Amino acid sequence: MQEPEQNGTTSIIERSTAYKPPRTWRSWLIGRPLPTADAPHQTIGRTVGLAVFSSDALSSVAYGPQEVIGVLAAAGTIALGYAFPIVLAIVGLLVILTLSYEQTIHAYPDGGGAYIVARDNLGELPALIAGSALLMDYVLTVSVSISSGVAQIVSAFPLLFPHRTGLAVALVLFVMLINLRGVKESGFTFAIPTYFFLLTVLVTLIVGFFRYLTGSLGTVVDPPAVHLLERAQPLTLFLILKAFANGTTSLTGVEAISNGITAFKEPRSRNAGLTLIWMAVILAVMLTGIMFLAGQVQAVFSESETVISQLGRTVFYSSRGGAAPFDGLPYLMLIAGTAVILIMAANTAFADFPRLSAMAAKDGFLPRQMTYRGSRLVFSRGIAALSGIACLLIIIFNASVSKLIPLYAIGVFLSFTLSQTGMARRWWKIGRLAPGVEIVERGSTLRRDRAWRFKMLVNGVGAVLTSFVTIVFAVTKFLAGAYVVLILIPVLVIIFWSIHRHYSGLAHQLSLERYGAEPPRMQRHRVIMPVSGVHQGTLFALRYARMLSDDVTAVHVSTDPEETEKLRTKWETWGEGTRLVVLDSPYRLLYEPLLEYITDIAEARQPGENVTVVVPEFVTANRITAGLHTNTANLLREQLRFQHGIVITNVPYHVHEEPLDHGH
């Protein structure tokens, strides 16, 4: 095995550059480029972190309770009495998940959530399943939240209903643009609408409970036309489980903070953990409050008006029998706040999708380009990929929340299950450590913990509950569209494995660990130079070719005998004794005869012999006139790059265009 040469002759020189990217239209659009040294200053605190990573979970109160009502409505009015107990069960599951992910945050301070936990404790296959499920869920988060936000707008302005798809796509692109400006800047941008939404919902709940306690709440006036998600059917356990599964969409986004710990200021684990607890408390209060009041005002499921809209106009409806002038403003503020937070909820996915895809890419399961940070220190390729896929889904499903919901939440609950299972196994491994022993894993360090049994119990219970919800989702929503997700996840896993196999095979071939004997030295270097005419550019390339080797062959493809004869005459004068091969092309083809000749030479070459194709290239300062010249070098490179032992070199000859003198 060959060892790296150890001597003192190798010099390594470091040099800094004073170059700064110039201001362009992109600088105006997404902000000036940030240096790498600014990365620590782009972190966020708990207040902004709540807006960035919790908007998905908090906004789900706009459609979670509505989906519960929509399923139960199939069994008639009496079944709606089960809506509030179902929400209480969902809140209980929220408590378990919050405790579980709070442990994950402290155990994995570098973030990663379900993907990293599963990778370190369950293996690569479970990690890929969790990663696929989460990436798919983030795409659906953008599609569902934006579509739901548009539904809120359409509820207040019905004339926009036919344009909801175009409006949703435009909003996705708007959120993408803000995220390309950076985590810190997008966080401050989204903080105001997030807290505005929380304020409007809190005011609605306070006024609603006050009117309920004083007996002046009433019911929905002029309720919209009822739409049934299901065909009319009796109240059964299956229907209740289906309603519960629909309602658990309110818990999507709970894992987001554990994936984005690195975005928080130090001490980041503590800040992320407190933000998670804040989010859980606020979400629980809003879920129970909205569902309770929705039951009291007898809100119905309708595609034309959301439950939040019905609740808002009932709560702020005047007790004097009509809508007073001041009643309209609170309602519009609630609708505006809800619509904006639903649109901003997509930001959670924009914050986590690029990070998760970068982690998977770093492990070799996604293209390496996903690990590159853009000019604003964000994973801009991941942001762009998320936007494109989400827009495609919105167009396919015509921005319908009810059509997108069946695809939603299965993936996230599958990742919940794998994450909790992985954490339970992590505590089991810690319980078998001797005191004082530490084991460093890829994502965390295992240390003895006296409370490992309790923590394993918490994660174990969480794994059981989330696996139950996953199964319920898969069964109850299978025909409604869940089968698509159940098919896509294995397909994504296969794609990830294929990418990983390519990178692993390439790394094996390029590795220096098995680099033994010296490669055979090139015994002969043959140079082929295509020639279309004899001029200064040709002679410049010829001089370069003769520097590479004494064995140079110029090749001309003859499509016009008269022009070929002129070239022969010039070559005898200026060719410096270099042999010229003329390829006759009766069908006036340029590249095919040349490629055939080069291929024949390459196939007949001896061991250790290398072939270089030197291509003269004109370079003009004018980009418009540059298109008037054939790009032979690039065309040959595309055709020959898969052949071994052939090097394509283009020799640029810079031409400075001068204005013509019309007087001569």
Q: What is the pLDDT of residues 402-455, one digit of tens each?
A: 778 777 778 888 988 999 999 999 999 999 888 888 888 887 888 888 889 998
Question: Is the CB of residue 374 less than 8 Å from the CB of residue 32?
Answer: no
Nearest C-alpha neighbor of 645 from the set 615, 608, 600? 608
Q: How many CB atoms lie within 10 A of CB 642?
A: 7
The three-class DSSP label of residue 321 is: coil
Q: What pLDDT is attached to residue 519?
A: 55
**How does DSSP assign 602-662, residue by residue?**
HHHPPTTEEEEEEEEEEEES-HHHHTTS--HHHHHHHHHTTSTTEEEEEEEEEE------T
pLDDT score recorded for residue 456: 92
Residue ranges in the chain modelled with pLDDT below 50: 1, 319-326, 660, 662-664
Of 200, 180, 597, the residue nearest 351 (C-alpha): 180
CA distance 409 to 137: 7
Q: What is the pLDDT of residue 401?
A: 77
pLDDT computed for residue 490 by the predictor: 93
Nearest one of 474, 469, 479 to 244, comparing CA atoms: 469
> Residue 375 to residues 52, 308, 497: CA-CA distances in angstroms?
20, 40, 30
pLDDT of the residue at 326: 38
> What SS3 class is residue 528?
strand
pLDDT of residue 16: 65
Which residue blocks in 298-366 are alpha helix, DSSP H? 307-315, 325-362
DSSP-assigned letter for residue 576: T
Q: What is the pLDDT of residues 168-214, one digit of tens each?
A: 999 999 889 888 887 666 667 778 888 999 999 999 999 999 999 98
As assigned by CATH, the class of the 524-655 domain is: alpha beta
Distances (CA, A) of 536 to 451, 541, 575, 598: 81, 9, 11, 24
What is the rounded distance in angstroms from the CA atom of residue 399 to the CA atom of residue 401?
6
Question: What letter represents residue 468's amino acid?
Answer: F
Collect all residues with Cβ–Cβ distance below 8 Å to 365 and sequence separation of at least 6.
128, 131, 496, 497, 499, 500
Task: List for the chain the helix, strand, coil content (%; round to 5).
Answer: 65, 10, 30
The alpha carbon of 423 is separated from its chain's Cα centroid by a whole number of angstroms, namely 25
Domain ranges of the chain: 38-502, 524-655
- Residue 300 in contact with residue 310, Cβ under 8 Å? yes
The predicted structure's pLDDT at residue 395: 93
Ramachandran bin of 31, using left for φ above 0, alpha for ψ from -120 to 50, beta for the remaining angles: left
Question: Distance between CA 399 and CA 453 in Å, rounded?
Answer: 46
CA 378-383-388 angle, 5° bins: 165
Q: Which residues contact 253 (CB under 8 A, 6 or more apart)?
A: 53, 54, 55, 56, 57, 58, 60, 141, 345, 348
Domain 38-502 has CATH 1.10.3720.10: no
Determine the pLDDT at residue 376.
75
pLDDT at 280: 94
CA angle 367, 368, 373 (to 5 degrees): 120
Query: Residue 575 has what DSSP assignment?
Result: S
pLDDT of residue 348: 80
